[in-house]
Amino acid sequence: MELNRLDHVGIAVSDLTAARGFYEGVLGLRPAHEEVIEDQGVHEVLYRMGDAWVQLVAPLGPDTPVGRFLAKRGEGLHHVGYSVANVSTALSELRAAGVETVDDAPRIGSGGTRVAFAHPKSAHGVLIELVEEGSGHRGS
């Protein structure tokens, strides 16, 4: 398979306002995109960093994947997103290689991207997100 570039680093935060205070107020980043993704149970803010983004993800409730992650492990690195040309193809290649995937098929992610996740169990402890650019816009 072929990964094009690092797309984003996803950071799980429990309080998006407080986290934004740090990333924007202290680190001086400017938000490029903000979105509530009901399907994934998250409220996200993206910051552009060169060719990639830093993504803050706060849970919409405790009974969501990020909510359960926070309860178990606390705030911190949640996933790493890699850009691929075609997420369906990349997902098939991972599954053919015996990698356990969270998704059976791609779903819609931030800014209309098509995404799929591979389980950390199969990826040395890191949740991996495959990202195919969509028709939407994630800001610049």
Q: How far apart are CA 76 and CA 74, in angstroms?
A: 7
Q: Which of residues 35-94 bind Co ion (CB under 5 A)?
A: 55, 81
> What distance in Å separates the CA atoms of residue 106 and residue 109, rounded to the nearest whole number?
9
Neighbours of 127 (CB within 10 A): 19
As measured in angstroms, the least distance from the Cβ of 129 to Co ion is 5
Closer of 1 and 80 to Co ion (Cβ): 80
Q: From the CB of 62, what's the least distance to Co ion, in Å? A: 20
Give 80's contacts (C-beta < 8 A, 6+ positions apart): 6, 8, 9, 10, 126, 127, 128, 129
Q: Is 44 a catalytic residue?
A: yes
Minimal distance, residue 113 CB to Co ion, in Å: 9
* Pick 55 or 83: Cβ nearer Co ion: 55
What residue type is 78 in one-letter code? H
* Residue 138 burial by Cβ neighbours in a 10 Å radius (0-12, 13-18, 19+): buried
Total chain residues near Co ion (CB under 5 A): 4
Identified catalytic residue from 8, 33, 43, 78? 8
Active site residue 38: no
Catalytic residue among 40, 43, 55, 132: 55
Q: Cite the active site residues.
A: 8, 44, 55, 79, 129
Residues engaged in binding Co ion (CB under 5 A): 10, 55, 81, 129
